[in-house]
Structure 1
Amino acid sequence: MNTLFPIFVKLEQLQVLLVGAGPVGLEKLQALFRNAPKANVLIVAEHIIPEVTAYIADKDTVHFERRPFRETDLEGKDLVIVASNNSSLNEEIRTMTKSHNILLNVADKPELCDFYLGSIVQKGNLKIGISTNGKSPTIAKRLKEFLNDLLPEEIDETLELMNELRLQLKGDIKMKIKMLNEHTRSLIS
């Protein structure tokens, strides 16, 4: 049973630390900015691949420091993502983040993670997160492709219209919910 609690966080209001600037670090960075173009990210790594340098060149909310990780990097951070193939460093960071009450994701090490970066389907303002509880990223990817094909491009227009309707409705919450449910019933039939 998947007991993960799905949430969507406002990364532009949080401070993120990314440890590692290799191919996996690039993948994590791209996932962050695809979903939160104004994410605040500090990257700490001894080595940086040219693709990461190019990717962050026009992002003013990303800062890079070429050096080893140190515990002081955790100060003021809300989330930490580790893209390192150094298992002792990964374990060390796990211990530190736990003692600082900071959420951690370690690439390809589910046993060290507090959260996962799932597959995301996005059409305008609609965003759907997909998790297989770490069991099969391939299935999550296939479901993402399926939903992307299934959802109409016009879904964002529908969302805007529903928001306008929601704002215009008067009465108690039960009545509003009933009216909104009636209007959205045809979306899934």
Structure 2
Amino acid sequence: MIPLAIDPARVPIALAGNGPLAVRRLTQLREGGADPVVYSPEPDAEFAALAGERLVRALPFDRDLDAVRVLFVMGLDPAVETTLAKLARSCGVLVNVEDVIPLCDFHSPSVVRRGDLLLTVSTGGRSPTLASLLRQRLETLFPEIWGDRLRQIAGLRDQLRKDGASMAAIAKATKSLVTREGWLP
């Protein structure tokens, strides 16, 4: 596995599915800054409400996928999921079919967000439960205040860069701040 962080402002994302897994994935995508087009022929009420104006009450065709680079699929009939995975690949779109490893080009890690700080855990799809347990541990080790800490570190870095400091000097100043504040045991 090769870990990547995708900027949804540059990489168009879509979701096809229905049900609780689709609600969870759409929520996670939005937390990451994405506003995907959502394809669902017969969405349940919760999913339809969450998708809002981005909902297309149909499955995507190849022409729809021409504008997409990443497709998440879940909560559909297995034969439909298989067909969508093949269609996506034929259009050059990376696809993730929830909990169907052979149909996945990538796996989504468990995520802890603290502002712009993003901590992830992946088992390559082999144990979502272990990934979830590790994510819960990270949530405890890195409470919400880490969002503020990152902003403080970023402010220091920005000022030092503006002053012409070298990358080595910036790294040293960052380490010094983290140590002085006792943020990491």
For residues 4-60 of structure 1, the C-alpha deviation after alignment (integer angstroms, 9 at most, x for no partner) is 222221213332221222332222212212322xx2322222211001122233xxx
Aligned match of 2:119: 128
User: Which of 158, 165, 168 is the aligned partner of 2:156?
Assistant: 165
Q: TM-score, normalised by structure 1?
A: 0.83
Q: What does 1:1-189 correspond to in 2, within 5 Å?
A: 4-36=1-33, 39-57=34-52, 62-169=53-160, 170-185=164-179, 186-189=182-185
RMSD across aligned positions (CA): 2.0
For residues 78-128 of structure 1, the C-alpha deviation after alignment (integer angstroms, 9 at most, x for no partner) is 111111442332222222222222110101111111122221111222111
SS of residue in 1 equivalent to 2:71: strand
**How many residue pairs get matched?**
180
* Structure 1, unpaired ranges of 5+: none
* Structure 2, unpaired ranges of 5+: none
Instruction: Pick 1 or 2: higher relative contact order, CA cutoff 8 A, min separation 6.
Output: 1
Task: Determine what percentage of the aligned residue pairs are the same residue.
Answer: 25
**Cα distance, 1:124–1:87 mapped onto 2, change above 3 Å:** same
Q: TM-score, normalised by structure 2?
A: 0.85
